[in-house]
Amino acid sequence: MNILKKAYCRIYQAAFRAALPLLPYREPQILHSCKELPETLSTNSISNLMIVTDKGIVKFGLAAKVTAVLDEAGISYCVYDETCPNPTVKNVEAALKLYKEHGCQALIAIGGGSAMDCAKAVGARVAYPGKTLNRLKGTLHVLRKIPLLIAIPTTAGTGSENTLAAVITDPDQKYKYVLNDFVLIPKYAVLDASMTYSLPPSLTATTGMDALTHAVEAYIGRSTTKETRKMALSATKLIFANIEKAYENGTDEEARSNMLLASYQAGFAFSRSYVGYIHAVAHSLGGQYNVPHGLANAVIMPYVLDAYGSSVYKKLLQMGCAAGVCTEEDSPEEGAKKFIAAIRSLNERMQIPTYIEGIQESDIPVMAAHAEKEANPLYPVPKLMTEKELENFYRILQLGKNIRI
């Protein structure tokens, strides 16, 4: 990267870091059971709402747990259950139409990040009925208050119940774009462990590693605060202590509760301190090939951390100590390498692959361009990379092993 662009990126990031204490971040109010919904809705004068979810959540009976509570309380609702794993512009517009037809006042998102992102984007479109999502993408382009939004995560990974971001796919352009705005932070988050019991082991693994990616990228970036560092380290400790327990026994209430807390904490950290090239590459793979986001992050993470080299050794040592895989007696380099090895070992034990199938060489320059545009100058990464350098990660992912970059 030439010196002028590098300087521009770092000045841009420094300005955001300086403004961080002044920005209107807020946390959602935590509910610990779906049974608390009627009182919460009544307090906010809500009598008619839309549930945003997907077919899988309905099939496993998770949506029914919520609708039963609403039925008993006499609260009207409609259900949009067509959300796909990487929610599209079409999903958002279809849900918006249903919301308007039923005269809804609020939104409840039930599911993983896809359902929550879809609901956030619907809220943005309600606020701006005359603007397309393409015109609302980017940072602070929504601004107007959206309808009351309650997030009920059924995975412990995205942290979207605590973030200002919504990621939407444009399938025509094969591109994912992000809406970032403080008004998109849900007003309430329901952290009910029982809502995650039916999550299969494979999704428990990849969504859990998604949460770890959030914690890692937030911690190693250059826009951290005392609070985000604390949250990221706590999330890392919780994930290493609980992810395999939840993977092996889906109804382990303590493990599931701890993973929900870890996801929430990691969401807190990255929504304030941002992410990095792991996410940028993962988003491009999701847009091009519909690769599930958690899976992409899990596979990519160790390769990107390797590439950052000495710029992250000290911080990865600290994360490794929190995870219990190294000690303060290790050198920064030794500790960092132990932590990266521990991530690889976790992936292997939970049968997460080392490569991504189907990457075409002809698509790599386009995906790398999207990743570079997303990351630079916004993401305060520890080491800046060019479009050409990012291309190498896709080739690594084709092979499932490091190559010289």
Query: pLDDT, tens digit, for every residue of 49-86?
Result: 999 999 999 998 999 999 999 999 999 999 999 999 88
Q: What per-residue confidence (pLDDT) applies to 323? A: 98
Same domain for 156 and 213, yes or no, is no
Name the domain count of the chain.
Answer: 2
Asked if residue 188 belongs to a domain, the reply is: yes
Distances (CA, A) of 115 to 108, 131, 158, 231, 371: 9, 21, 11, 24, 23
CATH number at residue 178: 3.40.50.1970
Asked if residue 6 belongs to a domain, the reply is: no
Radius of gyration (C-alpha) of the chain in whole angstroms: 20
Same domain for 191 and 207, yes or no, is no
Same domain for 122 and 103, yes or no, is yes
Asked if residue 389 belongs to a domain, the reply is: yes
Cβ atoms within 10 Å, residue 387: 15
Residue 188 has pLDDT above 80, yes or no: yes
Torsion of CA 120, 366, 213, 16, to 10 degrees: -70
Same domain for 260 and 186, yes or no, is no
Same domain for 124 and 220, yes or no, is no
Same domain for 212 and 107, yes or no, is no
Same domain for 257 and 181, yes or no, is no
pLDDT band, very low/low/confident/very high, at 138 (cuts 50, 70, 90): confident
Q: What per-residue confidence (pLDDT) applies to 403? A: 58
Residue 160 has pLDDT above 70, yes or no: yes
- 151: nearest Cα among 228, 245, 260: 260
Q: What per-residue confidence (pLDDT) applies to 23? A: 87
Q: What is the domain range of residue 164?
A: 22-196
Looking at the DSSP bridge assignments, the partners of residue 272 are: none
Same domain for 189 and 207, yes or no, is no
Asked if residue 404 belongs to a domain, the reply is: no
Q: Which of 131, 162, 196 is the last residue of a domain?
A: 196
Same domain for 210 and 354, yes or no, is yes
Q: What per-residue confidence (pLDDT) applies to 259? A: 97
**DSSP, res 12:** H
pTM of the model: 0.91
Residue 48, classed as helix, strand or coil, is: strand
CATH number at residue 303: 1.20.1090.10
Q: What per-residue confidence (pLDDT) applies to 20? A: 85
**Residue 358 class from Cβ within 10 Å (0-12 exposed, 13-18 middle, 19+ buried)?**
exposed
Same domain for 31 and 139, yes or no, is yes
Residue 402 has pLDDT above 90, yes or no: no
> What is the pLDDT of the chain when averaged over all its residues?
94
Q: Which of 173, 196, 219 is the last residue of a domain?
A: 196
| Mean local confidence (pLDDT), 87-95 | 95
Q: Which of 196, 222, 256 is the last residue of a domain?
A: 196
